[in-house]
Amino acid sequence: MVQQRLIAEDEVVAKPDLATVCSEPDAIAAFDAGYPSHLVGRSLLVHADCFDWLAAIPEHAISSIVTDPPYGLKEYEHSELQKRAVGRGGVWRIPPSFDGHERAPLPRFTALNGKERAILRAFFVQWARLAVRALRPGGHVIIASNAFISQLTFEALVEGGLEWRGELIRLVQTLRGGSRPKNAEDQFPGVCSMLRGGYEPWGILRAPLPAGMQVSECLRIYGTGGLRRDWHGKQALDVIMSERTPRSERAIADHPSLKPQSFLRQVVYLSLPLGEGIVADPFMGSGSTIAACEAVGYQGIGVERSADYYAIARRVVPQLARVPVRAKPQLQLPIDDDL
């Protein structure tokens, strides 16, 4: 039996009790921390900078975080979004059209120099510290990255106090380039400068359990510490066969980093081991994670800094939550019993 408590017994407090939040959907509004907010379904959308919001909410209020942060920090700066809108300069580039289809601009992550990489590192260290404070002990963070930046960002998250629990691989072809050595394409026709991207890495991290506490006890006290088995009761694989975000979803939510519901619903679902508590997405964008929460029957809190994307999220979360998703084939992997 899970003890429906928000914080450890030795902490003294008058903070909202998560049990109340779950049984009375409107009580989630208490998590706006004074920022403009809107209830959408059983979830809450907050218009704020997530660093401020994470620092302002009660400690240990959140049971999991599923999020897709700005990979390169710069791409969601106002000035970069303006350059994207006029299609000139900045980090947003149109990928080459190899199949006759015009592509939407993607951020060019190699544009980060050493100083910017240091800023990125500091950003994720600080963010992780705030996430540890906001999460229940044992609460999971499942966070998108990309093959270029993941080494840096995951290490920074661990430095900020999160515990490394591995990766979730979203299988999908990415358009990161590198098919030829630049300016020497003809000289080295048999060479590519990197392998074609076939996955998106999502870090799996966890707020540390209190010293000496086992997962079983963490589950009993905080309802966290483990991950939920899939809806067939199976231990989910850490590789998910995914897809490009379907056109039907992109038509609903105009955001350059929209993730597919078919993937997010699986990730959100497994993030709450007992299906109880609040899932937060501090970099909400157009609200696809919160829509996934709504679709699987969870309560979510999405935080977004941009007024434009916040307005989009308010409008589209209910629509995205209703889109039907096609079942993807289950991956059948051979077992290597040496590993």
Ligand X SMILES: C[S@@+](CC[C@H](N)C(=O)[O-])C[C@H]1O[C@@H](n2cnc3c(N)ncnc32)[C@H](O)[C@@H]1O
Looking at the Cβ atoms of 48 and 207, the one nearer to ligand X is 48
User: Whole-angstrom Cα distance, residue 299 to residue 292?
Assistant: 10
Candidates 28, 142, 156, 258; binder of ligand X (CB under 6 A) is: 258
Q: How far is the CB of 93 from ligand X (least distance, A)?
A: 16
Candidates 70, 95, 105, 226; binder of ligand X (CB under 6 A) is: 70
Looking at the Cβ atoms of 70 and 95, the one nearer to ligand X is 70
Q: How far is the CB of 73 from ligand X (least distance, A)?
A: 8
Residue showing the smallest CB distance to ligand X in the complex: 285
Looking at the Cβ atoms of 69 and 273, the one nearer to ligand X is 69
User: Whole-angstrom Cα distance, residue 157 to residue 126?
Assistant: 8
Q: How far is the CB of 210 from ligand X (least distance, A)?
A: 29
For residue 19, which of 278, 303, 294 has the smallest C-alpha distance? 278
Q: How far is the CB of 13 from ligand X (least distance, A)?
A: 26
Candidates 31, 76, 199, 222; binder of ligand X (CB under 6 A) is: 76
Q: Which stretch binds ligand X (CB under 6 A): 44-52, 149-157, 187-195, 215-223?
A: 44-52
Residue 18's contacts (CB-CB under 8 Å, 6 or more residues apart) are 4, 5, 6, 61, 63, 277, 278
| CA trace torsion 263, 207, 156, 200 (10° rounding) | -10
Q: How far is the CB of 287 from ligand X (least distance, A)?
A: 6
264 touches 279 (CB < 8 A): no
Structure tokens at 303: 């935080």
Q: Which stretch binds ligand X (CB under 6 A): 45-53, 87-95, 135-143, 330-338?
A: 45-53
Looking at the Cβ atoms of 21 and 291, the one nearer to ligand X is 291
Q: 86 to each of 76, 82, 83, 203, 279, how far by Cα in Å?
A: 15, 7, 5, 33, 36
Looking at the Cβ atoms of 47 and 136, the one nearer to ligand X is 47
199 interacts with ligand X by CB under 6 A: no
Q: Rounded to the nearest 10 degrees, what angle do helices 288-296 and 261-271 cross at?
A: 60
The DSSP symbol for 274 reads T
51 interacts with ligand X by CB under 6 A: yes
Q: Which stretch binds ligand X (CB under 6 A): 47-55, 58-66, 132-140, 326-334?
A: 47-55
Per-residue binding string, ligand X, 275-314, x by CB under 6 A, is --------x-xx-x--------------xxxx--x-----
Size of the site for ligand X (CB under 6 A): 20
Candidates 11, 24, 26, 49; binder of ligand X (CB under 6 A) is: 49
258 touches 288 (CB < 8 A): yes
Looking at the Cβ atoms of 218 and 290, the one nearer to ligand X is 290
Looking at the Cβ atoms of 266 and 288, the one nearer to ligand X is 288
Structure tokens at 182: 């630049």
**β pairing state of 299-304 and 43-47:** parallel
Q: 197 to each of 67, 177, 179, 201, 233, how far by Cα in Å?
A: 21, 8, 10, 11, 31
What percentage of the chain's residues is helix, strand, coil (to nearest 5)?
35, 15, 50
User: Whole-angstrom Cα distance, residue 194 to residue 301?
Assistant: 38
For residue 42, which of 30, 27, 53 has the smallest C-alpha distance? 27
Q: How far is the CB of 161 from ligand X (least distance, A)?
A: 19
Q: How far is the CB of 184 from ligand X (least distance, A)?
A: 33
50 interacts with ligand X by CB under 6 A: yes
Residues interacting with ligand X, by CB under 6 A? 49-51, 68-70, 76, 255, 257-259, 283, 285-286, 288, 303-306, 309
